[in-house]
Every structure is written in structure tokens, then in C-alpha cells.
């Protein structure tokens, strides 16, 4: 399939620049794959739309303050995004940067802090990668100390299409975010409120949690015209024994596994295998990497239903939902979403695909 097959036109005014308030007042499109039906609701209706024999799986990763500002020799301003720790012992990181052309091997970046603390933070550029990223090393500071300093030096890395957002950074975190490590929010979870969790519990629907730290694999653009030539960046995920046991029992009891977001889905599908004709979700005994790329033609092994936002044109996320629901039905749903002025992308509205 070609990259152009996943393009569509979106009016700029439909790109959400702030979240709905309250969170569960966002709109919710209901998509029935078997019947080809598309209906319109609000997100707080989700518990009523799900079968009571459902189990919801969430990604509880928390976004870190991975966007830092600094200067290099000559007082040139630079902005970096920490994308992956390559070596904890040596505190070496892969980064993306604005002003990257000025970041040569040996350049020293002095970072700005926005609180009156004494610790100085700087890093040396070690390498320039062919894809435009850089490798840097934070010197005279341990990995654990860097994590303590990030709230003082960094800010949450909001997507570039969110302009002039002045709200609380908490609005770009799910209310159940726990394990730090993501550089973008698992946005399907942003719609959930305490009210929704209470209504889910009242209906007897259980909830389980895993962790995938959102990185470049989720949002890096596809640059190959043949989508099969695209290589996903690796992301780290973890599924503990309790979660795996609960979801395996739900699956064996013929309950519906509802994935809250594409990152949760990719984690579950990455850790599922077939044993003696039975679908089994394997726990990760330690953090595990995945670069699974799901596009039309993929056979889903574990996930039955999906809650997700409306995604960017030509993105791997749009390809994933097209694989899950069928490309024609998804593009029909997106067309209706535009016609009905749904809000798109990270702070936008959602759909549930059954």
C-alpha cells in the first residue's frame, strides 16, 4: 500500500488546541465494524456503549518534561527533545533538536532552568546521526539526578500542532498516569474521568494497566511511499504478571478485551502468542522493546475493541486503526467526523471501534 492512500484533508480549525472541559465532555464516535454503523455520542456515554463482559486495558505511562532549552557556543539558542536513553550508566541520550545544524560533535549545550536552583545542567554532543537526530551525554551528573532536575529544566513536549496552549500541564496527562517515561501522552486516555471509572465499575467492567513509554515509534512520520518500507522506532513496554493473568482469564472467559489507545494495543499484540491453538498474553519479566508496525492486512490476536483519537494523515496510527476497522470504514468515519466538526488529534475527540 502507498503512503498517499492514507492522506486526507483536514481543515485547520478542527485541530484541537485545548482539551474539552470536563475531559469526558469530548465527543465520541461509535463505529461498529460488523454492521458498518457509525453513530455519535459524548465520551461520558462510553460505559453504556460497552458490553458488561468487557475488560479495559490502559497504558499508565506518564509524560516527562523532555523538552529542554539551552544555548551553545556563540550563544545560539537550541531546543531539544529527549527521545531515548541509550546508556543509563553514562547518561547518554538520543535527541531531536531545533537548531540541530549548530550541534556538531563536541558542542556543549548549557541548559536554561526556570527555577532558582544551584545545579548546573549541560551536555556534550557525541554524534550526529544520519536521520538528523543527535547523541548527547550529560556530564558530571548521574542518570537519577537528571530525572530529579527535569521538572526544573524541562517542559512537557506538547505536539507542534497545539498552538498557544496556556493551561495546566496536568491536562496533557491521564488521571491514572503513574510510570514516568513517555515523550507524548497516550491520548485516548485523556478523556477518562473519575465519573467514567465509577460508572465502569458500577457496570461490572474491570480495568487493567500496562506501561508503554511513548516515543518516536508512535509519532515519527512515515517517509517511504511504500508503507511496508517504513521501519518503526523501538519503544519500551512492560506487562506485569497480574495484568497478564487477568487479561488471559478474561480472554478465556470470552470477555471483550478493550484497548484504550493504540499504544496499549501495540503492547498487547507484541506480547501475544499462540500456544496449542490458544491465544496467550505473555508478561514481560523486565522492560521489553517493540517496533511492531500494524497496517491493513495485519491479523489481530488479542484485542477485540479499541478506543482511540482521530489521527494525523499518513501516520502509522491511522494505518493501525485502518487495519483494525477496515480502511474504507475508517475513512468514511473520518469524513463524517469532519462533516460534523469533530475535534482532531491529541486534545481532540475520540472513537470507539467495536
In a domain, 223, yes or no: yes
Indicate the average pLDDT of the chain. 95
pLDDT digits (tens, 9 = 90+) for 37-64: 999 999 999 999 999 999 999 999 999 9
What's the rounded mean pLDDT across residues 9-20?
Answer: 97
In a domain, 127, yes or no: yes
Of 152, 131, 36, the residue nearest 84 (C-alpha): 131
What's the rounded mean pLDDT across residues 242-268?
Answer: 98
Judge if 145 and 23 occupy the same domain: no
Q: Is 319 or 114 the better-scoring residue by pLDDT?
A: 319
Note the pTM of the prediction, 2 decimals. Answer: 0.95
What's the rounded mean pLDDT across residues 16-43?
Answer: 97
Judge if 188 and 272 occupy the same domain: yes
Beta bridge partners of 44: none
Judge if 230 and 83 occupy the same domain: no
Judge if 323 and 221 occupy the same domain: yes
Judge if 129 and 78 occupy the same domain: yes
For residues 103 and 84, the answer to whether their CB atoms sit within 8 Å is no
What's the rounded mean pLDDT across residues 278-285?
Answer: 94
In a domain, 164, yes or no: no
What is the span of the domain harbouring residue 132? Answer: 67-155
Count of structural domains within the chain:
2
Per-residue model confidence (pLDDT) at position 116? 61
Per-residue model confidence (pLDDT) at position 219? 87
Cβ–Cβ contacts within 10 Å for residue 278, how many? 10
Region of poorest pLDDT, from 23-37, 45-59, 113-127: 113-127
Domain boundary among 116, 132, 155: 155
Of 270, 194, 249, 321, the residue nearest 55 (C-alpha): 249
pLDDT digits (tens, 9 = 90+) for 65-112: 999 999 997 779 999 999 999 999 999 999 999 988 889 999 999 998
In a domain, 114, yes or no: yes
In a domain, 181, yes or no: yes
In a domain, 108, yes or no: yes
Domain boundary among 105, 125, 155: 155
Judge if 224 and 320 occupy the same domain: yes
Judge if 248 and 335 occupy the same domain: yes
Per-residue model confidence (pLDDT) at position 46? 98
Judge if 212 and 335 occupy the same domain: yes
Judge if 227 and 274 occupy the same domain: yes
Judge if 23 and 137 occupy the same domain: no
Judge if 215 and 301 occupy the same domain: yes
Whether cis (ω within 30° of 0) applies to the bond prior to 6 is no
Interatomic CA distance for residues 102 and 271, integer angstroms = 41
User: What's 267's domain CATH number?
Assistant: 3.40.1780.10
Judge if 149 and 245 occupy the same domain: no
Per-residue model confidence (pLDDT) at position 334? 98
In a domain, 161, yes or no: no
For 73-107, b/e burial (b = at least 16 CB within 10 A) is eeeeebebbbbbbeeeeebbbbbbbeebebbeeeb
Of 164, 163, 292, the residue nearest 234 (C-alpha): 292
In a domain, 160, yes or no: no
Domain boundary among 98, 128, 155: 155
* DSSP strand pairing (108-111 vs 67-72): antiparallel
Amino acid at each position: 500500500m502507498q503512503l498517499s492512500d492514507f492522506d486526507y484533508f483536514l481543515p485547520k480549525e478542527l485541530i484541537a488546541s485545548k482539551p474539552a472541559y470536563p475531559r469526558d465532555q469530548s465527543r465520541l464516535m461509535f463505529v461498529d465494524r460488523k454492521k458498518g454503523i457509525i453513530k455519535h455520542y459524548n465520551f461520558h456515554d462510553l460505559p453504556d456503549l460497552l458490553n458488561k463482559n468487557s475488560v479495559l486495558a490502559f497504558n499508565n505511562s506518564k509524560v516527562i518534561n523532555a523538552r529542554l532549552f539551552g544555548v551553545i557556543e556563540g550563544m545560539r539558542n537550541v531546543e531539544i527533545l529527549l527521545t531515548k536513553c541509550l546508556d543509563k550508566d553514562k547518561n547518554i541520550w538520543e535527541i531531536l533538536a531545533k537548531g540541530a545544524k549548530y550541534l556538531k560533535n563536541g558542542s556543549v549545550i548549557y541548559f536554561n532552568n526556570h527555577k532558582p536552583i544551584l545545579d548546573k545542567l549541560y551536555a556534550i554532543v557525541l554524534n550526529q546521526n544520519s536521520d538528523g537526530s543527535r547523541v548527547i551525554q550529560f556530564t558530571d551528573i548521574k542518570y537519577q539526578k537528571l530525572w530529579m532536575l527535569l521538572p526544573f529544566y524541562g517542559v512537557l513536549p506538547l505536539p507542534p500542532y497545539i498552538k498557544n496552549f496556556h493551561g495546566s500541564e496536568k491536562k496533557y496527562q491521564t488521571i491514572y498516569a503513574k510510570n514516568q517515561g513517555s515523550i507524548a501522552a497516550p491520548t485516548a486516555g485523556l478523556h477518562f474521568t473519575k465519573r467514567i471509572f465509577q460508572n465502569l465499575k458500577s457496570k461490572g467492567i474491570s480495568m487493567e494497566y500496562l506501561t508503554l513509554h511513548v516515543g518516536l515509534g508512535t509519532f515519527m512520520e512515515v517517509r517511504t511511499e511504500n508503507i511496508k518500507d517504513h521501519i518503526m522506532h523501538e519503544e519500551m513496554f512492560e506487562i506485569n504478571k497480574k495484568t497478564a493473568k487477568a487479561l488471559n482469564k478474561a480472554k478465556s472467559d470470552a470477555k471483550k478485551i478493550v484497548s484504550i489507545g493504540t499504544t496499549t494495543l501495540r503492547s498487547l499484540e507484541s506480547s501475544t502468542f499462540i500456544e496449542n491453538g490458544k491465544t496467550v498474553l505473555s508478561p514481560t519479566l523486565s522492560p521489553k522493546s517493540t517496533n511492531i508496525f500494524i497496517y491493513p492486512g495485519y491479523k489481530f490476536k488479542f484485542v477485540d475493541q479499541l478506543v482511540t483519537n482521530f489521527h494525523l494523515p499518513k501516520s502509522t496510527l491511522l494505518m493501525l486503526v485502518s487495519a483494525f476497522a477496515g480502511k474504507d470504514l475508517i475513512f468514511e468515519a473520518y469524513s463524517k467526523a469532519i462533516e460534523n466538526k469533530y475535534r482532531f488529534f491529541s486534545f481532540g475527540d475520540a472513537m470507539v471501534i467495536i
